Amino acid sequence: MNSLTKLIHGLMATLACAAHAAKPNVLIVYLDDMGYGDPACYGGKLAPTPHLDSLAKNGVRFTDGYVSACVCAPSRVGLITGRYQARTGHDSNAGDLALTETTMAQRMKDAGYTTGLVGKWHLGSSQDTLPAARGFDFSLGSVGNLGGEGEKTGFFRGTELMPKLEGAPITSPVYAREACGFIERSKEQPWFLCLAFNAVHNPNVASESVLARFPQLKRRERDYAASIAEVDDAIGTVLAKLRSLGLEENTLIFCLSDNGDSSPYANLDGLRGHKWLVWEGGIRVPWIVQWKGRIPADRVLSTPVIQLDILPTALAACDAAVKPEWRLDGVNLLPLLEGHTKTLERGPLFWRFGPQFAIRQGDWKLVKASKSMEPMLVNLATDRGEQTDLSGAEPEKKQQLQTLWDAWNAHMLPCPTDDGRMDGEEARAAKKERKKKTNDQFDR
């Protein structure tokens, strides 16, 4: 080996070490109401999702990925704090993120990161509850949902509230552009960005050019398919930006949905239930992680994970210590993601949504999905569709899980908001009525 070759090899080794030692950027892509089986990599056939699929191909796809709530706002509380939303009684879709909670943005700023949020917030609209007051250096997006009876509307840029946003209600390309701008401005330092799309939450809207890709579908199904396709396009835009700046290998990317589906056209891949319910269809979601510089590619894992794990994993990736007094409820996934272990040392996963509740320990799940329902024991390894009640055959297991959930719940705060939609029976009736109206009015 001549001296020039040695020099080149030495330089490459130095650069590789520097890249490994550098703090990674952290990107969370939070989709809205996407069904478990909607992405093609999860079996979806309604709309192609090449960019979501590329994340799975270049990283890890979880078959048993969860969120801690079956509706938007409490799921975002869990994401942004790393703690069960029940710790502050935030079960309902109403209410602001408690001012006593420390956000992921604040944790990441303490670790030396510049922080951004682009997209849906849904955790407050006052000056002290907007993202700019909760640790985000840059923020732009929608206060809540984009429309519909009883839903929050309006947008924000930093501390400024705006009645309209150029391009809305078709926000996926707008958010992609703003995300790329944040990444460009922050490229010389480690950054954390939460990119929270409005899609595929209703109203399902998309650009005419994207709608034109689905001429074979009737109107509402076409709208849903196009909203999936356009948000996938937006993800592709952001990934292309990372590649153009040479940042993809050193960016830890999480991509998941905030809860289960809310559309009659969503693909649940055999799961029971939907948004508003603690059946698997309401809480099990597409859940993908990519970190090209660290995580072996093209793996599918069945280990249960939850969005609460994202904060401790990101902190571990940037070598920031987690303090016990923070009482984070998630665990560091890096040993699992990097292939150093096949299991996680964690306790059960818990859910509470008004009168509904669930607990998963191993393959066992105890679920009560409506006010009048007797808790049902299922084994998800053999019954992922939650059809067979094993309470009679396994009474000790049922009691064990009930005792564990009761003990957990005793340390949570009660939910102060009485939302009738939290009763599973009403949620099922509402979705049935929506589907009937959709079929009657729009599938002509």
Supply the residues annotated as catalytic: 72, 122
With tokens 């130095």, the residue in question is 14
* 444/440 Cα distance (integer angstroms): 8
How many other CB atoms are found less than 10 A from the CB of residue 10? 10
What CA–CA distances, in Å, run from 48 to 38, 44, 161, 239? Answer: 9, 8, 35, 17
The encoded tokens of residue 71 equal: 């509706």
Contacts (Cβ under 8 Å, ≥6 apart) of 7: none
The encoded tokens of residue 185 equal: 């401005």
DSSP per position, 181-244: HHHHHTTTS-EEEEEE--TTSSS----HHHHTT-TTS-HHHHHHHHHHHHHHHHHHHHHHHHHH
User: Residue 109's closest CA among 11, 220, 186?
Assistant: 186
For residue 274, the cross-strand partners are: none
For residue 367, the cross-strand partners are: 358, 376
Query: Which helix (H) or strand (E) is 390 found in, with range?
Result: none
User: Residue 290's closest CA among 319, 327, 247?
Assistant: 247
Number of Cα atoms under 13 Å in the Cβ half of residue 33: 22
For residue 117, the cross-strand partners are: 139, 194
Q: Which segments within 242-389 are labelled E, that is strand?
A: 251-257, 287-290, 299-301, 305-306, 349-353, 356-361, 364-368, 376-379
Contact yes or no for 315/107 (Cβ under 8 A): yes
Give me the long-range contacts of 390-397 (CB less than 8 A, separation at least 24): 397/364
Please provide the size of the chain in residues.
444
* 159/140 Cα distance (integer angstroms): 9
Contact yes or no for 75/97 (Cβ under 8 A): no
Contacts (Cβ under 8 Å, ≥6 apart) of 442: 218, 219, 220
* 246/185 Cα distance (integer angstroms): 14
